Amino acid sequence: MTRARHLVSLSDLPDGALRSVVARAVAHARRSAAGGRAEATLVGAVVGVYFRRTSTRTRTAFSAGALRLGAGVVAYGPGDLQTNTGETTEDTGRVMAGMLDVLVARTAGDPAEMRAWAAGQRRMAVVNAMSADEHPTQALADLTTLALHFGDIEGLRVLYVGEGNNTAAALALALSRHRGTLLDLRTPPGYGLLPAVRARALAQAEQSGARVSERHDLDRLPADLDAVYTTRWQTTGTTKPDPDWRTVFAPFHVGPELMARAPKAVFLHDLPAHRGEEVAAEVLDGAGSLAFAQAENKLHSAMAVLEWCHGLD
Ligand code: CP
């Protein structure tokens, strides 16, 4: 039996698989836009969807995506599993692996827990629907959005403005694998990328011929930006210990003035948005915003991820 294909981190996707998952997601999006129905490639499979934190897009995308591909879905909320009464993570994974083909999980915590579920599993694939350090399936939706809009990801020039959170980490780990791509991150002081993520993105960029940089102001933006990306300031409602954090974040608000400095750039946001906080409503709703297409692409990319986990290339 072949080993299950896990997606706990983008690093679990070899370069060829990263490109084929995005290509498959683009194909799903185009077929859907043309009014076509998905081929039932997952008939007989059962997908567990376990979300310990709130979610609108990711949970719906994986649930609807599994159903559209013909799989069955078992959904678990935060209070449903016996881990709440003391069963170990390892035992939980072992039991689920005997019953499920894929487990899509949002823990918002340490990815080690998902690695524990994945360890030694030959059948059940584990998909990280957001951990504290990385949001890999968001990056796949982002790449799908860029590929659909620009035709090619290589060579794109992207400005990321906001916290170096799990979405920013996944974006850096994804774009740094595309030749000629520029990712310029502008993160509030004290809220940058995790050092390990930055080091990995820089190493990947060196190998691929991409460029990744990070600084903590909005001075001297690169010319000819293709996209400006921001995210909510409080990832899944998390709080920040510094009571004055809003003062630190305020200069990183994406409003019309900032977008005017990138005149041909589209606007991206992983959503949910807090209008008036990280982004002005007129930017989010403006003609250059791809944010809601990006949200729909979570469905198309989730379908592509499930198919990859199921062995389709
Ligand atoms: N972008 C994203 O992960 O959205 P949800 O939190 O609604 O799943």
Q: Domain-by-domain residue ranges, the chain?
A: 10-134+299-309, 138-295
Residue 5 reports pLDDT greater than 80:
yes
Q: What is the mean pLDDT of the chain?
A: 95
Same fold for the pair 10-134+299-309 and 138-295: yes
Residues flanking ligand 1, CB < 6 Å: 55-59, 130, 138, 270-272
Of all protein residues, whose CA lies closest to atom 6 belonging to ligand 1? 55
Asked if 10 contacts 136 with a C-beta cutoff of 8 angstroms, the reply is yes
| Lowest mean per-residue pLDDT among 48-57, 227-236, 302-311 | 227-236
- Phi first, then psi: give them for residue 67, nearest 5 degrees: -65, -40
Sequence-separated (6 or more) residues with CB below 8 Å from residue 279: 230, 253, 254, 255, 267, 269, 273
d(CA 202, CA 155): 16
| Lowest mean per-residue pLDDT among 122-131, 151-160, 278-287 | 122-131
Residues of the chain with pLDDT > 70, as a percent, come to: 98
| 178-235 pLDDT, tens digit each | 999 999 999 999 999 999 999 999 999 999 999 999 999 999 999 999 999 999 998 7
Sequence-separated (6 or more) residues with CB below 8 Å from residue 231: 162, 163, 165, 167, 168, 269, 270, 278
In b/e form, how buried is each residue of 238-251, taking b as 16+ CB within 10 angstroms?
eebeeeebeebbee
Asked if 158 contacts 135 with a C-beta cutoff of 8 angstroms, the reply is no
| Lowest mean per-residue pLDDT among 90-94, 194-198, 252-256 | 90-94
> What element of type H or E holds 214?
strand 211-215
CATH homologous superfamily of domain 138-295?
Aspartate/ornithine carbamoyltransferase (3.40.50.1370)
Of all protein residues, whose CA lies closest to atom 3 belonging to ligand 1? 58
State the pLDDT at residue 1.
43
State the pLDDT at residue 118.
85
Average pLDDT over residues 26-33: 98
CATH homologous superfamily of domain 10-134+299-309?
Aspartate/ornithine carbamoyltransferase (3.40.50.1370)
Residue 77 reports pLDDT greater than 70:
yes
Q: Within 10 A of 289 (CB to CB), how many other CB atoms are there? A: 20
Asked if 145 contacts 22 with a C-beta cutoff of 8 angstroms, the reply is no
Q: Provide the token pair at 54.
A: 């709130």
Q: Using DSSP, state whether 38 is helix, strand or coil.
A: coil
Of all protein residues, whose CA lies closest to atom 4 belonging to ligand 1? 57
Residue 2 reports pLDDT greater than 80:
no
- Residue to substitute in 130, 138, 284 for testing ligand 1 pocket (most ligand atoms within 8 angstroms of CB): 130
Distance of CA 209 from the midpoint of ligand 1 (Å): 30
Distance of CA 137 from the midpoint of ligand 1 (Å): 10
Distance of CA 60 from the midpoint of ligand 1 (Å): 9
Distance of CA 223 from the midpoint of ligand 1 (Å): 30
Of all protein residues, whose CA lies closest to atom 1 belonging to ligand 1? 270
| 164-184 pLDDT, tens digit each | 999 999 999 999 999 999 999
State the pLDDT at residue 236.
66
> What element of type H or E holds 118?
helix 112-118
Distance of CA 271 from the midpoint of ligand 1 (Å): 6
